[in-house]
Amino acid sequence: MRRSIAPAELIDGLLAGNRLALARAISRVENEDDGARVILDGVFAQTGRGHLIGVTGAPGTGKSTLVNALARAFRGQGETVAILAVDPTSPFTGGALLGDRVRMTQLSGDPGVFIRSMATRGHLGGLAAASVDVLQLLDSAGFDRILIETVGVGQAEVEIAATAHTTLVVEAPGLGDEVQAIKAGVLEIADIFVVNKADRPGVERTVTALEMMLEQRRGGVRSMRHHGQVMSVALPPTTTAAQEWTIPVLKTVAVEAGGMAKGVDALRQAIEGHRSWLVEGDGMALREESRIARTLETLIQTALSRRMQATLPAEQIAAFIGAVRRRELSPHAAADAVVRQLTG
């Protein structure tokens, strides 16, 4: 085994933008190494500069391809880019076709791009909590743009995308449904809709479906614009209509089949436009509050569930299950007893 580097050394390396230090710090977080907390807390004050961009949507809509193309568009502006793929089907995580692998290799040869993937973890909340930590490390390393790809199925994945400053929901025509995300419940978190695979038939139908949905929503409840969360903080009333962000529906062709990708630079500009909107109004402060509320909720849930696993012996859980099954205890009463034991 190689020498274990002191957390202080990794902190210095991270803040200097050293890629090796970054990779090692991420490994510590993923391995739940004891030094991870020291590193995370040590760099925290230096975070908050990077633009977190969540990219979510159904599998196969072209998220990974689009993230790739976007990374290059940002690089074209001289900006540095980090990519975190939290998607088991992503080329970044190994589920790639050969062509995707080749593109990925091209991208990773660029020192201005850092790519990292995270596989889905078994335990409850583990993935969301670990990605919160990894994003913090990427931010501390000074990347201008931090792209997070998550597949838009499952609460944890949607939650990760929603903790970004700017969230893209990617749709594609011809996946059997006009708008796949309606089912997954990710529409509410979109700041920008992307209809990728605009070279495919049915693209206008998908665009129209999204625009109609947005139109209906505009006439309806306004409070949806602020990410709903269980742990709600006292937020000032929503911004006035003049300051409201108009969610665009943009078409892209992320693959470069014999030419240039299409619409990707317009998407890059929309993303930048959203950040400007956040920064110029009170949007950034609100978004940060809601991001932090979500983050804390994730960490608290994870900590509690770990504590439960660590402090409640399996026999005791089995005893509760047995008591409920025999109708000696109601499910609520059993849950209350467990919570009392954890907090008492």
Ligand X SMILES: Nc1nc2c(ncn2[C@@H]2O[C@H](COP(=O)(O)OP(=O)(O)O)[C@@H](O)[C@H]2O)c(=O)[nH]1
The contact set with ligand X (CB under 6 A) reads 59-65, 89-91, 97, 100, 196-197, 199-200, 253-255
- What DSSP character marks residue 262? B
Q: Which two tokens stand for residue 67?
A: 């993230």
Between residues 167 and 295, which has the closer beta carbon with respect to ligand X?
A: 167
CA–CA distance, 2 with 24 (Å, rounded to integer):
12
Between residues 63 and 251, which has the closer beta carbon with respect to Mg ion?
A: 63
Between residues 91 and 125, which has the closer beta carbon with respect to ligand X?
A: 91
Among 64, 136, 180, 298, binds Mg ion (CB under 5 A): 64
Residue 125 contact among ligand X, Mg ion, none, beta carbon within 5 to 8 Å by kind? none
Between residues 1 and 97, which has the closer beta carbon with respect to ligand X?
A: 97
Single-letter residue type at 11: I
- What are the residues whose beta carbons fall under 8 Å from the beta carbon of 138, sequence distance 6 or more? 22, 50, 82, 84, 114, 116, 146
CA–CA distance, 257 with 38 (Å, rounded to integer):
46
Residue 200 contact among ligand X, Mg ion, none, beta carbon within 5 to 8 Å by kind? ligand X
- Does the protein bind Mg ion through residue 295 (CB under 5 A)? no
Q: Are 143 and 156 in contact (CB under 8 A)?
A: no
Single-letter residue type at 219: G
Between residues 202 and 273, which has the closer beta carbon with respect to ligand X?
A: 202
Q: How many residues bind Mg ion (CB under 5 A)?
A: 4
Residue 62 contact among ligand X, Mg ion, none, beta carbon within 5 to 8 Å by kind? ligand X
Beta pairing, strands 192-195 & 145-151:
unpaired
What is the nearest approach in angstroms of Mg ion to the Cβ of residue 64? 3
Residue 177 contact among Mg ion, ligand X, none, beta carbon within 5 to 8 Å by kind? none
Residue 150 contact among Mg ion, ligand X, none, beta carbon within 5 to 8 Å by kind? none
Residue 253 contact among Mg ion, ligand X, none, beta carbon within 5 to 8 Å by kind? ligand X
Between residues 167 and 290, which has the closer beta carbon with respect to Mg ion?
A: 167
Among 63, 197, 227, 274, binds Mg ion (CB under 5 A): 63
CA–CA distance, 122 with 143 (Å, rounded to integer):
29
Edge to edge, the sheet with strand 81-86 lists 113-117, 81-86, 145-151, 51-57, 166-171, 192-195, 249-251
Q: Which two tokens stand for residue 206?
A: 């998908």
Residue 196 contact among ligand X, Mg ion, none, beta carbon within 5 to 8 Å by kind? ligand X
Q: Are 113 and 71 in contact (CB under 8 A)?
A: yes
CA–CA distance, 313 with 128 (Å, rounded to integer):
25
Beta strands in 30-105 (DSSP E): 51-57, 81-86
What is the nearest approach in angstroms of ligand X to the Cβ of residue 58? 7
Between residues 24 and 197, which has the closer beta carbon with respect to ligand X?
A: 197
> Residue 206 CA to chain centroid, in angstroms?
24
Ranked by CB distance to ligand X, the top (closest) residue is: 62
Looking up tokens 């998220």, which residue turns up?
A: 63
- Does the protein bind Mg ion through residue 116 (CB under 5 A)? no
- Does the protein bind Mg ion through residue 87 (CB under 5 A)? yes
**Residues found near Mg ion in the complex (CB under 5 A):** 63-64, 87, 90
